[in-house]
Amino acid sequence: MKTSRIDFSAVGWGRVIAVTTAGTLLCIAITVYVDSFNFRSMSEASRLRALLTDFLLPIVFCVPVLGFFMMKLRELAIAHRKLTILASTDALTQVMNRAAFSTLVDAYLRDVRAAEDKARGALLIIDADNFKTINDRFGHDHGDEALVTIARSIKSMLRTPDLVGRIGGEEFGVFLPGATTEQATHVAERIRQSVDGSTFMAAGARQPLSVSVGGAVFERDLPYADLFRLADQQLYAAKRDGRNRVVIAPVRPGPLALVAA
């Protein structure tokens, strides 16, 4: 049976309840402690009334004050998260923008530098074929629809840890942490087929869409800029060989270059 976990993050209700409860209990403890110095001089009935007051007053005052304060902090955290997402997301395609994508990939590559035996992954560059023709024939609004369709097709083929971003006008980047050449080729081919089989309507009819995919697979430490350049070379090869195709190659040891595909 699936059990839901309480969210104690800055945007979760768990933190609001926990801090409000803990703060109220602390206020009760302090009130009882301060009042305890007078208990010896009180009668039994007076002590009971004092204890009842020590419990009720903090509850009456602390719960609403702390609860209101924590709810406002939660609202600020939610607003901050939304702003962060907006700042890192391409407004049209709802994937990461270029800056966010390159930053996250570069951060991954920096992390694996400390353990080169774990340095493995692939960068794919996906470019819409003949995209200028789509804009010229049907207008930029339909061009935008085509990009949204392509982005949706890409995302549907990825695993949870994979990253996807729009890195140019009609160009997308996909980072596959831990992927081998075989796995990267499989994912790239699935993306190509998904776009090729997608439905893009313009001028009252289904219009063909296709992408070319170039990729570089690494098994050693290298900077993002170099990995991008090597993947871009493979994309150029895919375009040169007729478009609507995948060209993936591993980075060979030694000076930065690709093994011939």
Residues marked active site are found at 170
Burial (Cβ within 10 Å: 0-12, 13-18, ≥19) of residue 134? buried
Q: List, as own/partner pairs, every contact residues 111-119 make where C-beta atoms lie below 8 angstroms and the sequence separation is at least 24, other chains included.
A: 112/221, 113/221, 116/220, 116/221, 119/218, 119/219, 119/220, 119/221
Three-state SS string over 82-149 comes to: HHHHHHHECCCCCCECHHHHHHHHHHHHHHHHCCHHHCCEEEEEEEECCHHHHHHHHCHHHHHHHHHH
- Region of residue 147 (left: phi > 0; alpha: psi -120 to 50; beta: else): alpha
How far from chain centre, in Å, is Cα 141?
27
